[in-house]
Amino acid sequence: MDTNKKNILVIYHSQGGTMKRMADRFAKGAQKEENVTVTYKKAAEATLDDLLQCHGIAIGSPEYFGTMAGMIKDFFDRTYEGAKEKTIGLPFIVFVCAGNDGRGAVTQIERLAAGYKWKKVQEHVRIVGPPTKEDLARLEELGQTLAAGVDFGIF
């Protein structure tokens, strides 16, 4: 990783491929910023070091039974003790795909992020049903917005 560049960590969980498509587009947008690197991982593979080395984080989760994916919760469980005092104020954004409404997953992730004292920097995105081309374009724009905001010190 280029230590002169700021880093955005994008983590996601996907079983059927929908969230992976969404996370791909988010990461593509973040990669448009020249002074930013993107660490892009499945939540199960993301580590405490990934979290400690990032300057902003994006979390992509499907909503299952009104809740976030278990692997997203697992990431929080594995990183909390090591990161809670070291990531205060970390800019974060959440994007969720859901068959119903996605609010449960967003609410749960926000509660966990509050425990770390992270800073919500944009409205979270909830996509109900299969993502449209417009939804994917909006995610790409959101990725670039997060990266640009981190790069310029706005977030």
In this prediction, residue 87 carries a pLDDT of 98
Q: pTM for the whole thing?
A: 0.95
Residue 132 lies in a domain: yes
pLDDT in tens, 48-68: 999 999 999 999 999 999 999
Residue 57 lies in a domain: yes
Alpha carbons 45 and 117: distance in angstroms, whole number: 23
Residue 106 lies in a domain: yes
Residue 93 lies in a domain: yes
Residue 30 lies in a domain: yes
Contact criterion met (CB below 8 Å) for 60 and 8: no
In this prediction, residue 65 carries a pLDDT of 92
Residue 116 lies in a domain: yes
- Residue 12, pLDDT above cutoff 90: yes
Mean pLDDT of 80-89: 97
In this prediction, residue 100 carries a pLDDT of 85
Phi-psi region of 117 (alpha: psi -120 to 50; beta: other; left: phi over 0): left
pLDDT in tens, 97-137: 998 899 999 999 999 999 999 999 999 999 999 999 999 99
Contact criterion met (CB below 8 Å) for 39 and 91: no
In this prediction, residue 3 carries a pLDDT of 67
Is residue 137 classed as helix, strand or coil in its secondary structure? Answer: helix
Phi-psi region of 153 (alpha: psi -120 to 50; beta: other; left: phi over 0): left
Is residue 41 classed as helix, strand or coil in its secondary structure? Answer: strand
In this prediction, residue 22 carries a pLDDT of 98
Determine what percent of the chain is predicted with pLDDT higher than 90.
96
Residue 1 lies in a domain: no
Contact criterion met (CB below 8 Å) for 5 and 51: no
pLDDT in tens, 131-151: 999 999 999 999 999 999 999
67, with CB counted inside 10 A (0-12, 13-18, 19+), is middle
Rg of the chain over Cα atoms, rounded to whole angstroms, equals: 14
Domain count along the chain: 1
- Residue 154, pLDDT above cutoff 80: yes
Domain residues for the domain of 54 are: 6-151
Tokens of 84: 């809670």
pLDDT in tens, 36-53: 999 999 999 999 999 999
CATH (domain of 50)? 3.40.50.360
